[in-house]
Structure 1
């Protein structure tokens, strides 16, 4: 039975997506413009010294698994827990929907605006470059999207799932996810995702879709507050 490894983000940023990441020693983070996420190789001994060399005063990052006290110069702005879920269902049926649009660089600002409105997780202006993204539009306004982020073969993350509040309940998220998941499985990849533990609505939907909780971990937003 496949599981999501605890170090899936480290494997991503030192492997397939190393060209999207910066850092040295025991820390990596996505480069500026991508999702503001960092990862420590050893959460028992987080390498904040190396992190200081690749960030600026005021920078905020999502950080998982590390639960220690912040060193001088850093603060914890938020703390929660999240599930890492892995898909165990059949390959989704093909999605035949002419209204579904593959997102590209020309949609980056709209994707960021939708993410800031709906808060599906950390997102940046260049996040669309991390994988395939699809969306729905109402006229020229992006109203729903889903795509890919972490890539640690054979695992491929489904991410950025969100719908504008005015369009919730129309099945957009599920159809978009099925498109992304089918493409991943056709490539021999195993879909997985992250969801905050308190987001019962999304967690319940993912369980019904065939995802299973693999593990639960702490997640924090940390901020550099001094030099």
Structure 2
């Protein structure tokens, strides 16, 4: 089952989240209004060509995220590349103090969620990203101080994503509280929580280790477009 994580985006788009894309046998991408992620089945010439055909001209971009090496056909180029890590939960952390302040986020919260994501840059996030899975937040007064939710959903695994805290409220353990809450929600559905972090984000990786996560594999990240 864990081998599905080698190409977690492909696994999600061919199992539980197949409804968010047009079906393809060699390559798929999420509806761009929901998420910019895409994936090919493998690195064969035919699959990479199918991936290229999913990307439009004039500024269209897709994000690739996989443990396996990223290969591109001659018609595509990577604007950005990075190294990340995929971490899976090995032991459950107890709910920290303050977890009673967590609230579910709904359609009425979308403008604040988008604004918080644009400010803190937790990863690609659109007004429809919460279509992929539930999000929760912590409010301080009338302000959304922090949030986290789920994104990739594949057989046996769900991803914790969008973890972010407004700069005015950092240092209060809000990200920790939300991460533990989302992980518990995933476990309650019989799945294993996993998450991603950039390999050089040592602070985040250290936090996730304390919460019972361990590095499963390094992953490759690329933002890809058609060549001019």
Q: TM-score, normalised by structure 1?
A: 0.88
Shift of 1:32: 2.4
- Taking the aligned partners of 1:105 and 1:199, their CA distance within structure 2 comes to 31
Shift of 1:53: 4.4
Unpaired runs of at least 5, structure 1: none
- Taking the aligned partners of 1:143 and 1:70, their CA distance within structure 2 comes to 42
- Taking the aligned partners of 1:69 and 1:50, their CA distance within structure 2 comes to 9
User: Which residue is 2:71 aligned to?
Assistant: 68
- Taking the aligned partners of 1:3 and 1:53, their CA distance within structure 2 comes to 25
Q: What does 1:1-227 align with in structure 2 at a 5 Å threshold? A: 5-22=5-22, 24-45=24-45, 46-49=47-50, 51-53=52-54, 55-65=56-66, 66-72=69-75, 74-90=76-92, 92-93=94-95, 97-226=99-228
Distance 1:156 1:162, change over 3 A: same
Unpaired runs of at least 5, structure 2: none
Which digits, 9 at most, give the CA deviation of each residue in 1:185-220, with x for residues without a partner?
122111111111011110111111110110112111
- Taking the aligned partners of 2:177 and 2:124, their CA distance within structure 1 comes to 22
Shift of 1:183: 1.3
Distance 1:4 1:177, change over 3 A: farther
Distance 1:8 1:49, change over 3 A: closer
- Taking the aligned partners of 1:141 and 1:61, their CA distance within structure 2 comes to 32
Number of corresponding residues? 225
- Taking the aligned partners of 1:205 and 1:179, their CA distance within structure 2 comes to 15
Shift of 1:166: 1.9
Shift of 1:44: 4.3
Distance 1:111 1:22, change over 3 A: farther
CA RMSD of aligned residues (A): 2.3
- Taking the aligned partners of 1:207 and 1:167, their CA distance within structure 2 comes to 22
Q: In the alignment, is the contact (CA less than 8 A) between 2:5 and 2:11 conserved in 1? A: no
